[in-house]
Amino acid sequence: MSIDETDRRILKVLQRKGRISNAELSEAANLSPSACHRRVQRLEKEGYIRDYVALLNARKMGVPTTVFVEITLQTQADEVLDAFEKAVGRIPDVLECHLMAGSADYLLKVVAENTDDFARIHRQHLARLPGVAQMQSSFALRTVFKTTALPV
């Protein structure tokens, strides 16, 4: 099922204010509270809304350093890709893992306390990932822009 402009208004608000009350959301979407609630339930049921989460402050949580790690595997055989993906999914410091087209096979987004902590993560986890041929790490100096909101 497709979504209409009212659904889009609801989704835009919820992406930025996930804890908004249904009364406030219905006002922002120009709907009655009951109609708004039914739409949100439908959007959840149909998978447009996947989850509700709290976005934490990385600095306050003690992991202000973001490192992007490009990984090239020895081969792209299915068993190597599967083993790599299972292993990387068990590393708590890895926030994202993307299978890439281009020069690297995977791009990881890793958080750490500082460079020494990243060296620990590299030594204890990343260097032990199966099938890795090459790894290159780039430290983010400053986050200029960051959002979790998809264009709606």
Task: Supply φ then ψ for residue 95, to 5 degrees.
Answer: -85, -35
User: Would you say 69 and 88 are in contact if contact means Cβ atoms under 8 Å apart?
Assistant: no
Q: Put the strands of the sheet holding 65-73 in their side by side order.
A: 94-99, 106-112, 65-73, 132-139
Residue 72 CA, distance from chain mean position: 21
pTM of the model: 0.91
Summarised one tens digit per residue, pLDDT across range 19-68 is 999 999 999 999 999 999 999 999 999 999 999 999 999 999 999 999 99
Summarised one tens digit per residue, pLDDT across range 85-127 is 999 999 999 999 999 999 999 999 999 999 999 999 999 999 9
- Residue 41, amino acid: Q
CATH top-level class for 5-45?
mainly alpha
Q: Give domain 65-139's CATH number out of 3.40.50.10860, 3.30.470.20, 3.40.50.2300, 3.30.70.920.
A: 3.30.70.920
> Domains of the chain: which residue ranges?
5-45, 65-139
**Which residues partner with 139 through β-bridges?**
67
User: Would you say 74 and 131 are in contact if contact means Cβ atoms under 8 Å apart?
Assistant: yes
Q: Report pLDDT for 61.
A: 98
DSSP string, 33-80: HHHHHHHHHHHHHTTSS----PPP-TTTTT--EEEEEEEEES---HHH
Measured distance between the N- and C-terminal CA atoms of the chain, rounded to whole angstroms: 16
